[in-house]
Structure 1
Amino acid sequence: MGDTATMESGYVFDPSWEREHGRLLALEEIYDSQSRHRLNELGVADGWHCLEVGCGAGSIARWLAKQVGAAGRVLATDLDTRFANAHGLSNLEIRTHDLRTDDLPDASFDLVHARAVIEHLPDRDEALRRLAAATRPGGWVVVEDFDIDGPMYPAAARYCPPGYTELAERLGRALRAAFGAAGVDTGMGRRLPQALADAGLTEVGAQVHAPVLTGGDAAFLPLTLRSLRPRLLATGEMTDMDIEDVITLTKSHGTTCIPNFMVIAWGRKPV
Structure 2
Amino acid sequence: MRPIVLVGVICLFLGSVGCGARTVSATDDSGAAAARMREVAKAWEGSAAARSWREGFYPLEDMVRLPDNAFRTEADKRAYLTRNFEHRGAFPRTGREGRIRWADGTSRRVTPMTAQQAYDQFNEGPEDRAALLTVTKAAFGEMTLLTSRGEARVPAWHFTLDGYDTPLVRAAIDPARLPRAPIAALSQATDAGMPLQGLRKVAEDGRNVTVLAGHGACDDGPAVEVLETRDSVVLHATVRGGSDSPCTAQLLSDPVTVHLDRPLGGRILLDAFTGGPVALVGGRR
Tell me if both proteins adopt one fold, taking TM over 0.5 as the criterion: no
- Point out the structure with the larger strand share: 2
Q: Give the number of the structure with larger relative contact order, counting CA–CA contacts within 8 Å between residues 6 or more apart.
A: 2
| Greater helix proportion | 1
Measured against the shorter chain, the TM-score band is under 0.3
Q: TM-score, normalised to structure 2's length?
A: 0.23
TM-score by length of 1: 0.24
